[in-house]
Amino acid sequence: MWEHLSLDLLAHVFSFLPPDSVARAMAACKHWFDCARSRSPPSRQPHWLVALPARAARGRPSCYAHDPALNRWHVLPLDLFPCPLRLVAPVGSSLLCKLAASSDLRLVLLNPFTRQFRNLPDLTMPRRNPAVGIVVRGVDATSDSSSSFSVIVAGGASGSCYEPTVEMYDTGPGGWSLVGPMPVEFAVRLTVWTPNESVHALDGAMYWMTSARAYSVMGFDLGRRAWREVKAPMADRLEWAALVRRPSGKLGLVGGDGDGQGAVWELIEEDKWVAVGRVPAELGRRFWGRSKSAATRCVGGEEAVYLFRDLGSEMLVWSESSSSQIKKNKEGEETWEWRLVQGRCCMPNIPIKAALLHPTLSRSSFPASL
């Protein structure tokens, strides 16, 4: 009877399993294999941290995936793709990457778990190091599908000049189209200092942060096609910082100074930030006591914020505490807590760029064409 359990029901059971368990379950019988391959109901599992090397690395190209429940890193071979890739941003359950060898931006969509990949068409004009942002539509509605999204590309260098325009790729029509001009000053700053991290916030704007000190945030209102600059909180003292999307859908900023302090702010008005979380002093001392805070990397999403240094290094995680879940349901307020996650010294000590996503082994969530 188990072989014949309806696909819907079985897929629902699978949605409560971490991807490694699903991968094993797939090998049980053909019916289960087909189910895991073809169905992708929204995952009921916590996000995994998925990372690619940030610079050229020795050994065979790999993708690294961290299981938060077991604090275990998995190594997924990337030999399916012929050239080295750098991670740009997560798109649903897939990764938007760029070709490391190409100076002009060339994008590839990749799901390291299903070993699917697809090249995006070339941009309307060549751009070196532009800012890239993603708008994903309808992810949380019915599935973790990455089939409907837009890519916004702003600035970048072209020849010996900066390219003061914005262009957009949309999976609907497919292909790139020019959105319009942008202030040259913004194009320069996004090209020279962009960390390529973006947040599409509920207010309809795409935000990037330029890494030049003092940090500042550039916002592009997608509806009105207008640019604005938002001052970062504590801008002159931040040693490291990154943008995250808050559970409220608002823009969040995670950052810290050189003295072992770290905090999370939320943008509540035009130019006004409020602190919504601070790294407890004791944890901060332990985490930053051993190395320079400027080496801190950060990735965050609506369910967690991760601070780390390299692959396999100790991580400082801010997420909803498991004990508070019941309380949250009753009182309706979120209770997040900071915790240190032990490092894994068996991993190669290399710099990484990471993203948070729900891994899927379903091939159906990957776009059939781009």
- CB contact set of 347 (below 8 Å; sequence gap of 6+): 64, 73, 311, 312
Residue 49 near other proteins by CB under 8 A: no
Contact set for other proteins, span 314-353 (CB under 8 A): 326
Please give the Cα distance from 107 to 54 (Å, whole number). 16
Please give the Cα distance from 298 to 336 (Å, whole number). 17
Given 61, 130, 361, 362, the residue binding other proteins (CB under 8 A) = 361
Q: Which stretch binds other proteins (CB under 8 A): 10-18, 116-124, 133-141, 149-157?
A: 10-18
Q: Which stretch binds other proteins (CB under 8 A): 19-27, 97-105, 127-135, 254-262?
A: 19-27
Residue 9 near other proteins by CB under 8 A: yes
How are beta strands 297-300 and 262-269 bridged, if at all?
unpaired
Phi, psi of 62 (to 5 degrees): -140, 160
Residue 81 near other proteins by CB under 8 A: no
Residue 123 near other proteins by CB under 8 A: no
Q: Which stretch binds other proteins (CB under 8 A): 15-23, 51-59, 159-167, 191-199?
A: 15-23
Residue 117 near other proteins by CB under 8 A: no
Phi, psi of 326 (to 5 degrees): -65, -45
Q: How many residues bind other proteins (CB under 8 A)?
A: 36
Residue 14 near other proteins by CB under 8 A: yes
Q: Smallest gap, in angstroms, from Cβ of residue 70 to other proteins?
A: 9
Please give the Cα distance from 28 to 331 (Å, whole number). 42
Q: Smallest gap, in angstroms, from Cβ of residue 96 to other proteins?
A: 21
- CB contact set of 158 (below 8 Å; sequence gap of 6+): 125, 126, 127, 128
Q: Which stretch binds other proteins (CB under 8 A): 3-11, 143-151, 293-301, 307-315?
A: 3-11
Torsion over CA: 341, 345, 346, 350 (sign): positive
Residue 103 near other proteins by CB under 8 A: no
Cβ atoms of 104 and 128 within 8 Å: the answer is yes
Residue 2 near other proteins by CB under 8 A: yes
Q: What angle do CA 261, 265, 268 make, to 5 degrees?
A: 160
Q: Smallest gap, in angstroms, from Cβ of residue 13 to other proteins?
A: 5
Q: Is 6 exposed, middle or buried (0-12, 13-18, 19+ CB in 10 A)?
A: exposed
Given 54, 57, 75, 192, the residue binding other proteins (CB under 8 A) = 75
Q: Where are the alpha helices (DSSP H) in 108-262?
A: 139-142, 184-193
Residue 32 near other proteins by CB under 8 A: yes
Interacting residue ranges for other proteins, rule: CB under 8 A:
1-3, 5-6, 8-9, 12-21, 23-30, 32-33, 44, 65, 74-77, 115, 326, 361
